[in-house]
Every structure is written in C-alpha cells, then in structure tokens.
Amino acid sequence: MYWIVAILVGPALFMMCRKPGLFQDSGFDPRLSGGEASVFDETSKAFGHQVSGLNERDEQVHELGDGAIGATFVTAPAPVNPGLGPVFSNVSCISCHHNDGKGSPTAGLVNSSLLLRLSITGTDEFGGTKAVEGFGTQLQDLAVFGVQPEAKIEIGYTEQAFSFPDGETVSLREPTYNLVSPYKALPGNLLISPRMAPPFFGLGLLQNIPEATILSFTDENDRDGDGISGRPNYVYDPVQKKMMLGRFGLKANVATLLTQVAGAYNQDMGVTNYVFPQESSWGQTQLDALHDDPELPDSILNAAVFYIKTLAVPARRNVLDPVARQGENIFTQIQCAACHKPTMQTGIDLTLKTISNQRIHPYTDLLLHDMGDGLADGRPDFQANEREWKTPALWGIGLFEKTNGVPFYLHDGRARTLEEAILWHEGEAENAKQKFVQLPSSERKALIKFLKSL
C-alpha cells in the first residue's frame, strides 16, 4: 500500500523540486522575439505598437503616455507642457528617441540624440558617480532663450581603415569630444561618457526578467574559461531607496523604468517630477526663480513609464531564409551568443499578461562586459568600470535603418553599419571578433543577414 503511494507521490515531489527550464525551441514560433508581446510590422513605425491584450483602461493610459512621449516642453509658465530647462539636452522624448527608437549621434541640434554624462573621479555616498560642481552628472548643452547652456559639444571623427584577410576593407570612425564655451571653468579631472538614446520597445519585458535569471549568466571570474565574464551592476535607486540590480542605461546604471524615465525628464529636458523634484540646474546661475516643482504631473510621468513598459517588440523577418539561418548558426559558433543571450523567460506579472511568463529573444544578458580600450569611456558608473558596457539587446536591430534612416550603432553611434559595430568589439569580445574577421566574406554576410532578421 505505502509503496503505491510512494510510486505515485515520489515523481510528483521530484518534479516539484525541479527548477522550471525553457521548453524546446521547436515548440515556438521563432519570429516572436517578444513572445506574446510581439508585433508584425516592418515599417518605420515598427517600434511604436502597444502590446496586445491591454484592457480598455490600460489602453487609455498607454495612449496618454504616447502623447506624453511626443509632447514638446516649453519655458514655464505656459498653459501647455511647461517646465523646459532652463538648461536641457532636448525638448521632447521623441526628439532623441526617433520613432520610439534611436537617433543621430550629434549634439546641440534640435534632432540630436547624443548626450554626455559627466563626473569627476571618486564616488558619491551611494557608490555612484561623483557630480561635477556646477554641472552635475550630465551636460545640458542647450538652454531656453536668453540662458547660457552649460557648454557646447564639438564632435570630431578620425577614420581608420580596417582590412579583412580576404582584402575587403572597412572604414572605422573614432569619435572625439571637446567641450567648448563652458559657462564656468570645467575641472581638470573631468570624466565624460557619450550616450546615444536607446530604443524604447521591449523594456517592460526586460524589466520583468527575474533577477535570478540575469545572475545565472554571470561568470565574473571566468570559471568556464571562455574569456567572457559578465557581471551585474548594482546601483542605488532613489525610489526604492536601496541598492538594486541595474538593467537600464548603457552601463546598466539604472534599476527601474520609473527611475530611467523620471531621470530623462529631469536631466534631458529639465522637467522636474516626483522622483527628481529638483531642477538639474540647482545651485547654478541658470536656475529660474519659479517655485513650480514638480513641473510634470505625476499621472503623466506614470503614463509615460507605462507607455514604454507596454511597447511591443517587432517580430523577426526571414527566419526561414537559409542564409539567415546559416548566419544564426555562425552567431552561436563564434560566441556572439555568449553575451547576446538569445532566449530567456520573463517572470510573472499578474497585471500585464502579455509581458508575463513570456519566452523572449532579446539577445542580451543585461550584464557588464569589458569591451576593450577602443570603446572604453574611462568613466566608472556604480560598479561598471571604465571599460565596461552592458550588452545591448539586439532585437529590432534589423529595422533601425527603417526607423532611423542611418542606423548608428554602439553606445555613441560611431558605427554606421553592423559590420563596423562588430569590428569595434574588443576585450571580452576580442575572440569572437577575431573569429568573425577570419570568416569568409559569404559567412560574414550571412551573419549580418541574420542580425538584420532580428
């Protein structure tokens, strides 16, 4: 009798103790990069769709957030969208995040998408970057009429030729940044880090990846000996008031979407909000005399966050194309997939079923990796050192040409093609890059074709 019970209960207990794993690929449609939160659109508007399955109220909040993302701010007081500046990097979210995506690696123009983070050596009380007195941690290179910007940014490029063993050549451009006309003297130990605006879509899914999943990818001491480590960034979150795993920002320097979006309103546009109620120009000569903070209604900030959280991921194209499939195999064989992790499962979110428990293909591990001297910004950010960057997600990368005109890859937009972007990989990715370089031209093209299918 007891043995019958044991036979029946034993396997059940064994199965309960097993950690849930990923199902086989064969059971899923490979086009669905965002699982249920995928959208079939290959046009320039591909990044701007809401996930399916929202209830009527959520749809309204999403639409409200869409309007907020497009809103142009003006100098306060004003009846519509007051609060711009006094110093700022741009006037609206979409001015930098073109078509909910990226933009151009220029600064100081109305359509610029590049900003400079600033700091001096040392850390603040939370282990984060140390602000530059009179400038803060981000340079605002524009200002409302009659106010002096903190400084202007001059960007220069040096082209250098790269030759593949088969004789094919590529020109790589290396940027230099020069700060001119500062409103006050800049310190000698100034550290700067250029950052291009990243795309908005899929961030709700990335926020929903269990921390344990991300930590399972870490290999800080390279125990498996593949030359690739990967380590998390832990950052201070001003909302939760504690150290948390960094997921957003190009150095994984922000923990949550709320903090990311609120920080952008404050630092990029000079719009104060309930998370960051103090003007970015606090303590500076540019500060206005208005007592209107926070300038952004709480509901608008929350709607903007919800909008970004509920943007769908564009589905893949050409998944059955034999050349793209060949490129997919090469992607794994030359170890690109060691950091650009193809597949993972999101956690449970009872309020949003289409981003809950989804099998997704973001092609990132959300970890920091040493990318070598060529890409190093020389500016630590919490636990990210001066050579480390977070692995960017690759989903949607094949549509950047459509959504952005010239795609501009990497953290500072220096790469104009995917090939250039790969050739800038060094550090932990040096081995993978060398394997790419040694590939015959047809296989390099196959790899690019795969990337363009994402």
Partner 1 sequence: MNRLSILFFSIAIILNLSCRKNDGNTSTDFEGLKDRALMDFVNVVALPGYEELKTKAATLNSKVTAFDANTTDTNLLAAREAWKGLRATWERCEGFLFGPVEDDEYDPETDTWPVSFNDLDSLMNSSNPLGVSDIEALSQRSLKGYHPMEYILWGKNGAQTAASINARQKQYLTSLSLHLKSQAEKLYDSWAPGGGNYGQYILNAGKGSSLYPKKQDAFTSILEGLLAICEEVGEGKMLEPFDAQDPAIVESPFSGNSVTDFKNNITGAFNAYEGKFNDDGVGLSELVRARNISLDNELKQNFNAAINSFNNITVPYEKAILEQRIQCRQTMDAISELSATLDGKLRTFIMQNIID
Does the N-terminal peptide bond of residue 86 adopt cis geometry, omega within 30 degrees of 0? yes
- DSSP, res 392: P
Q: Is 297 in the site for partner 1 (CB under 8 A)?
A: no
Q: Is 196 in the site for partner 1 (CB under 8 A)?
A: no
Give the range of 117-125, 161-169, 397-405, 420-428 binding partner 1 by CB under 8 A: 397-405
Query: Among residues 96, 115, 116, 143, which is the contact residue for partner 1, using CB under 8 A?
Result: 143
Q: Can you list the alpha helix ranges (DSSP code H) found in 39-183?
A: 56-70, 93-96
Q: How many residues bind partner 1 (CB under 8 A)?
A: 36
Query: Among residues 30, 31, 58, 108, which is the contact residue for partner 1, using CB under 8 A?
Result: 108
Q: Is 332 in the site for partner 1 (CB under 8 A)?
A: no
Determine how β-strand 313-314 pairs with β-strand 38-39.
parallel
Give the range of 66-74, 153-161, 234-242, 259-267 binding partner 1 by CB under 8 A: 66-74
251/416 with CB nearer partner 1: 416
Q: Can you list the alpha helix ranges (DSSP code H) found in 352-426?
A: 400-404, 418-423
Query: Among residues 32, 84, 115, 393, which is the contact residue for partner 1, using CB under 8 A?
Result: 84
94/264 with CB nearer partner 1: 94
Decide: 158 and 144 in contact? Cβ < 8 Å.
Answer: no
Dihedral sign of CA atoms 239, 243, 246, 251 in order: positive
Task: Kindly state the tokens that stand for 97.
Answer: 């995040």
Which x/- pattern over 230-249 shows residues binding partner 1 (rule: CB under 8 A)?
--------------------
Q: Is 79 in the site for partner 1 (CB under 8 A)?
A: yes
CB of 211 to partner 1, least distance (A): 36
Give the range of 1-9, 22-30, 144-152, 350-358 binding partner 1 by CB under 8 A: 144-152
Q: Is 63 in the site for partner 1 (CB under 8 A)?
A: yes
Report the C-alpha gap between 41 and 201 in whole angstroms: 13
How many other CB atoms are there within 10 angstroms of residue 277's CB atom? 14
Q: Is 81 in the site for partner 1 (CB under 8 A)?
A: yes
Give the range of 94-102, 114-122, 220-228, 244-252 binding partner 1 by CB under 8 A: 94-102
Burial of 287 (0-12, 13-18, 19+ CB in 10 A): middle
Q: Is 39 in the site for partner 1 (CB under 8 A)?
A: no
CB of 131 to partner 1, least distance (A): 24
Q: Is 299 in the site for partner 1 (CB under 8 A)?
A: no
Query: Among residues 31, 53, 54, 72, which is the contact residue for partner 1, using CB under 8 A?
Result: 72
Among residues 197, 310, 175, which one has the least CA distance to residue 250?
197
Which x/- pattern over 148-177 shows residues binding partner 1 (rule: CB under 8 A)?
------------------------------
Helix (H) or strand (E) holding 161: strand 152-163
Among residues 347, 351, 357, which one has the least CA distance to residue 208?
347
Q: Is 80 in the site for partner 1 (CB under 8 A)?
A: yes
Task: Kindly state the tokens that stand for 177.
Answer: 């940044």
Query: Among residues 28, 30, 31, 44, which is the contact residue for partner 1, using CB under 8 A?
Result: 44
For residue 180, the cross-strand partners are: 152
68/262 with CB nearer partner 1: 68
Q: Is 146 in the site for partner 1 (CB under 8 A)?
A: yes
CB of 441 to partner 1, least distance (A): 19
247/402 with CB nearer partner 1: 402
Among residues 111, 137, 184, 158, which one has the least CA distance to residue 404?
111
Q: Is 212 in the site for partner 1 (CB under 8 A)?
A: no
Give the range of 93-101, 266-274, 379-387, 408-416 binding partner 1 by CB under 8 A: 93-101
Task: Kindly state the tokens that stand for 148.
Answer: 């002096």
- DSSP, res 314: E
Q: Is 180 in the site for partner 1 (CB under 8 A)?
A: no
Which long-range contacts (C-beta less than 8 Å, at least 24 apart) are formed by 165-174? 165/437, 165/438, 166/440, 166/441, 168/441, 170/417, 170/419, 170/420, 170/423, 171/420, 172/414, 172/415, 172/420, 172/423, 172/424, 173/414, 173/416, 173/420, 174/374, 174/414
Report the C-alpha gap between 149 and 146 in whole angstroms: 10
- Determine the 3-state secondary structure of 198 from DSSP: coil
Q: Is 78 in the site for partner 1 (CB under 8 A)?
A: yes
Q: Is 417 in the site for partner 1 (CB under 8 A)?
A: no
Task: Kindly state the tokens that stand for 221.
Answer: 């001491």
259/310 with CB nearer partner 1: 310
Residue 325 corresponds to which amino acid?
R
Decide: 188 and 290 in contact? Cβ < 8 Å.
Answer: no
230: left (phi over 0), alpha (psi -120 to 50) or beta: left
Note the residues at the interface with partner 1 (CB under 8 A). 40-45, 63, 67, 70, 72, 74-81, 84, 91, 94-95, 98-99, 108, 110-111, 142-146, 401-402, 404-405
